[in-house]
Amino acid sequence: MFFNFSLGLITLCMAMLLASSHAVAANDDDFESLRSPLGREWILTKNDRLRHIKTYVRLEDGKQFRSFKVEAVLESSMQTLSNVLFDFENYTKWYWETRESRLLQRKSNTDFIIYMVHKAPQGLPDRDVILQGVIEPQSPTKRSLALKVVALPDFLPLKPPLIRMPAEDISIKLTPIANNRIQVVAEGYFDAGGTVPVWATNFVQRAAPYSVIRNLQRMLLRDEYRNSKQPPMFPLYDYDDYVPATKSQP
């Protein structure tokens, strides 16, 4: 399923919400910027022109932590991307600090519930999260696929010593573009639950989306996904499927 960007686009996706060894590499200026106040407009935090990834943060009304946005281009067909994202058990290979991921319930071909456990730094309890992803598929006249991911913290009983995450909410839009590529736009918000310094959570909000996209780009190159014969859960369309209709328009 199309989760975490992290879905995740995201999932987004958070421990996606905890500082990890990656935080050690940040310099003092990085940490100072994480403590600095933000406005309500998106602020560009990373622009990787080589890999076609941009990440942004902002502070929204009524939320304790920063929200994130990522814009990216994937070198992939929609089918290959679907193969990666529906392989829930292997999110441990590419999703941010994930040590467990599995499908709990398939309500329909476009409505799934999954369970994930995110690794925390030594001395802190790991986090778990239950996510529901609802997909709005493409159609012959609708080019983009939309995914909305929300946390369901009360779906399962708590599992101490794990800390249940109250939020890992992500909205993702996937649009096929020319030359077998996909444009990704994802916005999300994470709350790790428990006691975590605000600056540490903000660091992950800033670092995790980029890391998830880079790892996803690598997964899309693997033969088991590119050559898979697994039928899609719902109709998928690439850019070329829309070209004839576009050319016929006056």
How far is it, in rounded angstroms, from Cα 242 to Cα 166? Answer: 40
With beta carbons less than 8 A apart as the criterion, state whether 120 and 130 touch: no
How far CA 195 is from CA of 100, 154, 199, 226, 233, in Å, comes to 22, 19, 12, 41, 39
Burial class (CB in 10 A: 0-12, 13-18, 19+), 59: middle
The model's pLDDT over 9-28, given as tens digits with 9 standing for 90+, comes to 333 333 333 333 333 333 33
Pick out the chain residues at pLDDT < 70: 1-38, 245-250
- Sign of dihedral through CA atoms 166, 46, 56, 181? negative
- Residue 226 belongs to what H/E stretch? helix 223-226
Q: What is the mean pLDDT of the chain?
A: 84
C-alpha span between 117 and 16 (Å, rounded):
10
Set out the domains of the chain in order of their start, with CATH numbers.
21-248 (3.30.530.20)
Helices (H), 156-196: none
Read off the pLDDT of residues 155-185 as tens digits, 9 standing for 90 and up.
999 999 999 999 999 999 999 999 999 999 9
pTM assigned to the model: 0.82
